[in-house]
């Protein structure tokens, strides 16, 4: 799979056709899960695939603004609770979603609203939490290539996605230099094509309501991921989002460099950030 192409091709779909997901495709996804990339390998995880007929078990417990979109199938990622488990779940789930894209499937992340009730409905024991839920299948044809830029419920712009622009953020906005707010020098003289492609892929990562409440610092030979406070994004979704950003960045960079990209979960000292921001991970470049 070409991660760069998959990251750019992936889009969140809210309407699905009635076409079922075959057993053969589900088996391929099971194999993908067994082999998918992991941010914290020692965190135990499992995967469950539900048919659309079972979506009633999700109602009120998981959704996108309360909606489950009547998809033909749903992927649930279960995880034991350890430090970094949400970032790891987001990392793994984004890898699964990109494999779905490569298999010709469409998808949409859903929010886990009530984990205990969802586990009870699915008869899942207490050993693991439902960390991520994804609706998937075959999407209806898009009416346009527009995306919503949601600042608040009453402040919404409609933006067309073009070229190397994510739904609402460019690299110039997303990437800072060695301090917060300082524009990064992304000139070809200073960064190689591999890093540039990895940054583009990070900008395509799915985030709750397309809010993209994160930034990357390029400082001291590292890429540093910063989570920004967002009144519309809960902590669970925010950390899942960060995991997805880290996956896109690492997977694309690894395709263009001879050594693997290894993210470290946790903060770093020595960087002044706004009070509502937090370093969630970093990797060497």
Three-class HEC string of the chain: CCHHHHHHHCCECCCECCCCCCHHHHHHHHHHHHHCCCCCCCCCEEEEEEEHHHHHHCCCCEEECCECCCCCEEEEEEECCCCCHHHHHHHHHHHHHHHHHHCCCEEEEEEECCHHHHHHHHCCCCCCEEEEEEEEECECCCCCCEEEEEEECCEEEEEECCCCCCCCCCHHHHEECCCCCCECCCCCCCCCHHHHHHHHHHHCCCCHHHCCCEEEEEECCEEEEEEECCCCCCHHHHHHHHHHHHHHHHHHHHCCCCCCCCCEECCCCCCCCCCCEEEEEEEEC
Higher pLDDT, 185 or 34: 34
Domain count for the chain, please give it: 2
Q: Does 177 lie in the same domain as 133?
A: no
Alpha-carbon span 28 to 12, nearest angstrom: 21
User: What mean pLDDT is predicted for residues 84-105?
Assistant: 98
Q: Does 132 lie in the same domain as 23?
A: yes
Q: Which residues lie across from 79 on neighbouring strands?
A: 45, 129
Chain segment 132-183, per-residue pLDDT in tens:
999 999 999 866 444 444 444 444 444 444 443 444 578 989 999 999 999 9
Q: Does 175 lie in the same domain as 117?
A: no
Alpha-carbon span 166 to 143, nearest angstrom: 18
pLDDT given for residue 142 in this prediction? 67
Residue 154 inside a domain? The answer is no
Q: Does 177 lie in the same domain as 128?
A: no
Q: Does 187 lie in the same domain as 118?
A: no
Residue 142 inside a domain? The answer is no
Q: Does 114 lie in the same domain as 215?
A: no
Inter-residue contact 252 to 198 (CB < 8 Å): yes
Q: Does 176 lie in the same domain as 262?
A: yes
Point out the domain boundary residue: 120, 137, 154: 137
Point out the domain boundary residue: 98, 115, 137: 137
- pLDDT of 248 strictly over 60: yes
Chain segment 5-23, per-residue pLDDT in tens:
999 999 888 899 999 999 9
Neighbours of 248 (CB within 10 A): 29
Q: Does 117 lie in the same domain as 192?
A: no
Q: Does 81 lie in the same domain as 198?
A: no
Chain segment 20-67, per-residue pLDDT in tens:
999 999 999 999 999 999 999 999 999 999 999 888 889 888 988 778
CATH assignment at residue 92: 3.40.109.10
Residue 159 inside a domain? The answer is no
Residue 30: give the domain boundaries: 3-137
CATH assignment at residue 191: 3.40.109.30
Q: Does 105 lie in the same domain as 14?
A: yes
Sign of CA dihedral 199, 200, 204, 208: positive
Residue 263 inside a domain? The answer is yes
Residue 225 inside a domain? The answer is yes
Residue 153 inside a domain? The answer is no
Residue 149 inside a domain? The answer is no
């Amino acid at each position: 799979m070409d991660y760069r192409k998959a990251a750019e091709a992936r889009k969140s779909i809210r309407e699905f056709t009635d076409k079922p997901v075959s057993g053969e495709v589900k088996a391929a996804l099971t194999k993908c899960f067994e082999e998918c990339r992991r941010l914290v390998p020692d965190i135990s995880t499992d995967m469950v695939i539900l048919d659309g007929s079972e979506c009633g078990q999700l109602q009120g417990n998981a959704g996108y603004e309360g909606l489950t979109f009547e998809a033909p199938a749903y992927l649930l990622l279960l995880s034991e609770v350890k430090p970094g488990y949400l970032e790891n779940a987001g990392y793994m789930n984004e890898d699964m979603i990109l494999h779905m894209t490569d298999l010709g499937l469409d998808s949409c992340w859903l929010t886990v609203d009530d984990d205990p009730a969802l586990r009870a409905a699915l008869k899942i024991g207490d050993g693991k939490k439902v960390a991520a839920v994804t609706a998937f299948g075959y999407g209806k044809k898009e009416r346009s290539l527009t995306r919503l830029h949601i600042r608040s419920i009453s402040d919404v712009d409609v933006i067309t996605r073009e070229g190397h622009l994510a739904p609402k953020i460019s690299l110039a906005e997303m990437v800072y230099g060695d301090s917060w707010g300082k524009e990064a020098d992304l000139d070809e003289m200073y960064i190689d094509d591999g890093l540039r492609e990895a940054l583009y892929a990070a900008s395509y990562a799915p985030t709750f309501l397309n809010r993209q409440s994160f930034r990357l610092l390029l400082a001291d030979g590292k890429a540093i991921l910063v989570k920004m406070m967002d009144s519309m994004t809960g902590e669970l979704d925010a950390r899942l989002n960060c995991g997805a950003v880290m996956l896109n960045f690492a997977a694309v960079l690894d395709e263009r460099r001879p050594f693997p990209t290894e993210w470290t979960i946790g903060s770093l000292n020595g960087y002044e950030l706004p009070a509502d921001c937090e370093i969630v991970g970093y990797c060497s470049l």
